[in-house]
């Protein structure tokens, strides 16, 4: 069952490594059913991904940015777009295994969350498909929970 996490009436939500918006668009549509004034922001390092996302929805604000340096990416993007400095929630799906510095991603997410802000990071469990590195450019073969808790 879908339950909306407790958020303010006009939450600002950031997707880190949004890609073409596969989850961003679905979540935006779903959350909007209960919180009409929600606004989603989609950050990604690959502009072509964001162009594709933009074609799917004009309700989401896309901007180019680096997951290991979210705060500076937002500062830069604010020169051109109306983007908040802090968010009520942030999420990231299937981006972390592409990051050379996952710790910086977690630190960056914490930095841009408001007090009591919520974060969800979803990624692959540890696996042995070494070909993912050459075929998909993955840096990590997933993660084990002990490593994440460090």
Ligand X SMILES: C[S@@+](CC[C@H](N)C(=O)[O-])C[C@H]1O[C@@H](n2cnc3c(N)ncnc32)[C@H](O)[C@@H]1O
Footprint on this chain of ligand X (rule: CB under 6 A): 17-19, 22-23, 44-46, 49, 66-68, 93-95, 98-99
Q: Which H/E stretch holds residue 110? A: helix 102-112
The minimum distance between CB 9 and ligand X, in angstroms, equals: 26
Residue from 60, 47, 122, 52 nearest 92 by CA: 122
The minimum distance between CB 121 and ligand X, in angstroms, equals: 11
**Cβ-based nearer residue to ligand X, 135 or 146:** 135
Half-sphere exposure of 37 (CA within 13 A, CB side): 6
**Cβ-based nearer residue to ligand X, 66 or 90:** 66
Structure tokens at 118: 């919520």
**Cβ-based nearer residue to ligand X, 47 or 147:** 47
The minimum distance between CB 131 and ligand X, in angstroms, equals: 15
**Cβ-based nearer residue to ligand X, 37 or 136:** 136
CA trace torsion 72, 89, 98, 122 (10° rounding): 170
């Amino acid at each position: 069952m879908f339950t909306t996490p407790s958020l303010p009436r006009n939450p600002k939500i950031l997707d880190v490594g949004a890609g073409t918006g596969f989850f961003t668009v679905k979540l935006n549509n779903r959350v909007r059913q209960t919180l009409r004034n929600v606004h989603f922001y989609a950050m990604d390092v690959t502009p072509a991904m964001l162009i594709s996302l933009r074609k799917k929805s004009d309700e989401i604000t896309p901007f180019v940015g680096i997951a290991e340096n979210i705060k500076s990416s937002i500062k830069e993007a604010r020169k051109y777009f109306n983007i908040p400095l802090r968010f009520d929630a942030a999420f990231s799906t299937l981006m972390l295994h592409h990051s050379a510095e996952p710790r910086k991603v977690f630190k960056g997410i914490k930095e841009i969350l408001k007090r009591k802000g919520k974060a969800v990071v979803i990624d692959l469990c540890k696996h042995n498909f070494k070909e993912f590195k050459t075929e998909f450019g993955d840096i990590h073969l997933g993660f084990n929970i002990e490593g994440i808790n460090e």
